[in-house]
Structure 1
Amino acid sequence: MEILGVKFAPLNVPLERRLQTLAVAIHFIVLPLWTVWGYPITVYLIFYTETLRYFLLLYFLWMYYDWDTCHSGGRSEMWTRVARNNALLRYFCNYYPLKLVKTVDLDPKKSYLFVSEPHGIWSSGILGSFGSDVLNCKKLFPGLEIHPITLDILFKIPILREYSYSLGACASSLKSIKYLLSTPPKNPYTGRITVLVVGGAAEMMESMPGTYRVLIKRRKGFVKLALKYGTALVPVLSFGETDLFNQIYSPEGSTFRRIQNYIRSFIGLPPVVISGRGFFQYSFGLISKRLPVTVVVGSPIEMPKIEDPTSEEINKYHNEFIEHLIKFFNTQKHNYIKNADNVTLELL
């Protein structure tokens, strides 16, 4: 039904689909709002509640004790197993739906750095594929411990930090990634996958439907780390990720882009003006569109172990990875993109 140009959802939408929409709304509205209001709310509860304040004070002591866990491998599976299979994540993955595809088997005794592109607005594909066990990532890659990398700031916000930990996530700091690439996993795992969205939050500003713009030309730190620890690089593409939201796009050099970059330098995230859909209508809102997202894992590029790689060596293997990524994109795009001949991987 459409009224004044707004397309409304029918009244007889099944409960299952309503719950899926709710799960996605929680991830894209409630959790981001908590990043802003987390500390003010907890401070208010400490000063203006009678009993809850004491539990919160104990919780802050726990935060102080637990502060560095996000830089040293995150939570063990004993703490994440149940959370990564919860109903909220199942509804989230089934909403689009999300799909995880591997193209080759990986050696369970090795360490891998998954280099994922594009970021999109909220990296829904990576969250569902590697931040949960709903899509059976641990069965697709047996023997490999999996840790997605996310913003460091998410581990500093009360309550929200526990959710990030429950997904098996670790911080996007140099210390954290070095730890994951250099430290062997605990039993029963024999190898490890570290999932890094190289474009990071800055790539949010490049996300537009039908485009695949990735910030990788000047991002060479991941290659340097891969060489330092002899870690294989694996390209990962999230097809459909950039179609989930419309965005008011501002090119590099524009006034709004400068404002976005300035704010991102302080809080880690750029302010983006986006539109997806709402709870009861499909025309606008802050919930992502119900469109399929397929995360495809490519074949690894083996890296030699070079303790202190030179700029020439870093550039050489960076160029090799980019060539591999472009070839992988062109090989796979016809399976997941409409009018694929008109879509290219834009490297920025």
Structure 2
Amino acid sequence: MEILGVKFAPLNESLERKLQELIVAIWIIIFVCGCFGGCLITIYLLLYTKTIRYILLLYFLWMYYDWDTCSRGGRSEFWTKWTKNNAFWRYFCNYFPLKLLKTVDLDPKESYLFIGVPHGIFSVGIFGSFATDVLKCKETFPGLEIRLIILSQHFKVPFLREYFHSLGACSSSLKSIKYLLSTPPKNPHTGRIIVLVVGGAAEMMESMPGTYRVIIKRRKGFVRLALKYGTALVPVLSFGETDLYNQIYSPEGSTFRRIQNYIRNFVGLPPVVFSGRGFFQYSFGLIPKRLPVTVVVGSPVEMPKIEEPTSEEINKYHNEFINHLIKFFNTQKHNYIKNAENVTLELL
């Protein structure tokens, strides 16, 4: 039913679908308001409670003791197994739905740096595929420990940090990534996958339906690290990611883009004006559109181990990976994109 241009959801929509919408909405709220909410709850408990404030002081001691966990491999599987497999994430993944596919088998005794593109607004596909185990990523890549890299700021906020720790995520700091690349995983794992969305928060501003814009031309640090530790680079494409939200797009050089970049440099995240759908209508809202997202893992690009790679060596292997990424996109896009012949991978 459509009234004044607003398309409303049917009244007889199933409880299953409503629960999926609720779970996805909760996930979005945590991402959008988690930092502010964690700080607000902390201030309230500290200033306006009599007993809980002392428990909170003990929690601060725990935070101090646990501060570097996000930079030293994250929580062990003992603490993350249940949270990565519970019903919350099943509803989350089934909402779109999300799918995880691989094109080749990976050696379980090696380590890999997965380079996920595009970021989209919230990296829904990458998060659902690798921060949870609902899509059977452990079965898909047996023997490999999987660590998703997210913004370091999330691990500095009380309570919010525990949410991301519970999913086995790690900090995006250089110290954290170096640790993961240089340290062998604990039993029963024999190898490791580090999942990095290389475009980061800046790529949020490039997300538009029907487009695949990737900020990678000037991002060469991941190649430097891959060469330093001899870690293979693996392209990961999240088809459908950019279709989940509309956005008021501002090109480079515009006043709004300059404001976005300034705020992103200050707080780590840009202010993006986006719209998906709501609980009872499909025309606008914070909830992403109910569209399929398929995450496809490509074949690895082997990297030689060079302790101190030169600029020429970094550029050489950076170009090699980009060419591999473009070829991978062009061979896979016809399986997941309508009118694929008109869609290209735009490298920025």
Name the TM-score class by shorter chain.
over 0.9
Alignment match, 1:54: 54
Aligned to 1:11, what secondary structure does the other structure show?
A: coil
Runs (4+) of structure 1 exceeding 3 A deviation are none
Once residues 327 and 184 of structure 2 are traced to their aligned partners in structure 1, the CA distance between those partners, rounded to angstroms, is 31
Alignment match, 1:119: 119
Once residues 261 and 31 of structure 1 are traced to their aligned partners in structure 2, the CA distance between those partners, rounded to angstroms, is 19
Letter in 1 for 2:38: G
| Aligned partners of 1:244 and 1:290 also within 8 Å | yes
| Aligned partners of 1:248 and 1:274 also within 8 Å | yes
Q: Could you tell me how far 1:4 is from its partner in structure 2?
A: 1.3
Whether 1:233 and 2:233 are equivalent positions in the alignment is yes
TM-score with structure 1 length normalisation?
0.99
Once residues 268 and 337 of structure 2 are traced to their aligned partners in structure 1, the CA distance between those partners, rounded to angstroms, is 31
Aligned to 1:195, what secondary structure does the other structure show?
A: strand
1:142-170 per-position Cα deviation (integer Å, ceiling 9, x unaligned): 00000010000000111111111111110
Whether 1:92 and 2:92 are equivalent positions in the alignment is yes
Matches within 5 A, 1:26-175: 26-175=26-175
Q: Could you tell me how far 1:224 is from its partner in structure 2?
A: 0.3
Aligned to 1:90, what secondary structure does the other structure show?
A: helix
Instruction: Give me the identity figure in percent.
Output: 80
**Residue 216 and residue 31 in structure 1: after superposition, are their counterparts in 2 closer, same or farther (change >3 A)?**
closer
Aligned to 1:185, what secondary structure does the other structure show?
A: coil
Letter in 2 for 1:165: H
Once residues 61 and 209 of structure 2 are traced to their aligned partners in structure 1, the CA distance between those partners, rounded to angstroms, is 44
Letter in 1 for 2:191: G
Alignment match, 2:243: 243
Structure 1: gaps of 5 or more residues: none
Aligned to 1:84, what secondary structure does the other structure show?
A: coil
Alignment match, 2:306: 306
Q: Could you tell me how far 1:52 is from its partner in structure 2?
A: 1.7
1:157-204 per-position Cα deviation (integer Å, ceiling 9, x unaligned): 111111111111100010000000010000000000000000000000
Letter in 2 for 1:107: D
Q: Could you tell me how far 1:34 is from its partner in structure 2?
A: 2.1
Q: Could you tell me how far 1:38 is from its partner in structure 2?
A: 1.6
1:96-129 per-position Cα deviation (integer Å, ceiling 9, x unaligned): 0000000000000000000010000000001110
Q: Could you tell me how far 1:31 is from its partner in structure 2?
A: 3.7
Aligned to 2:205, what secondary structure does the other structure show?
A: helix
Q: Could you tell me how far 1:36 is from its partner in structure 2?
A: 1.8
Letter in 2 for 1:121: I
Matches within 5 A, 1:326-341: 326-341=326-341
**Residue 336 and residue 226 in structure 1: after superposition, are their counterparts in 2 closer, same or farther (change >3 A)?**
same
Aligned to 2:75, what secondary structure does the other structure show?
A: coil
1:282-323 per-position Cα deviation (integer Å, ceiling 9, x unaligned): 000011000000000000011000000000000000000000
Q: Could you tell me how far 1:30 is from its partner in structure 2?
A: 3.6
1:219-260 per-position Cα deviation (integer Å, ceiling 9, x unaligned): 000000000000000000000000000000000111000100
Q: Could you tell me how far 1:86 is from its partner in structure 2?
A: 1.4
Q: Could you tell me how far 1:37 is from its partner in structure 2?
A: 2.8
Stretch deviating more after TM superposition (182-191 or 85-94): 85-94
Alignment match, 1:206: 206
Alignment length (residue pairs): 348
| Aligned partners of 1:29 and 1:287 also within 8 Å | no
Once residues 150 and 47 of structure 2 are traced to their aligned partners in structure 1, the CA distance between those partners, rounded to angstroms, is 31
Alignment match, 2:252: 252
Letter in 1 for 2:304: P
Q: Could you tell me how far 1:209 is from its partner in structure 2?
A: 0.2
Alignment match, 2:12: 12
Aligned to 2:238, what secondary structure does the other structure show?
A: strand
Aligned to 1:192, what secondary structure does the other structure show?
A: strand
| Aligned partners of 1:31 and 1:160 also within 8 Å | no
Once residues 317 and 95 of structure 1 are traced to their aligned partners in structure 2, the CA distance between those partners, rounded to angstroms, is 38
Letter in 2 for 1:290: R
Structure 2: gaps of 5 or more residues: none
Q: Could you tell me how far 1:140 is from its partner in structure 2?
A: 0.4
TM-score with structure 2 length normalisation?
0.99
Once residues 269 and 101 of structure 2 are traced to their aligned partners in structure 1, the CA distance between those partners, rounded to angstroms, is 29
Stretch deviating more after TM superposition (229-238 or 5-14): 5-14
Whether 1:322 and 2:317 are equivalent positions in the alignment is no
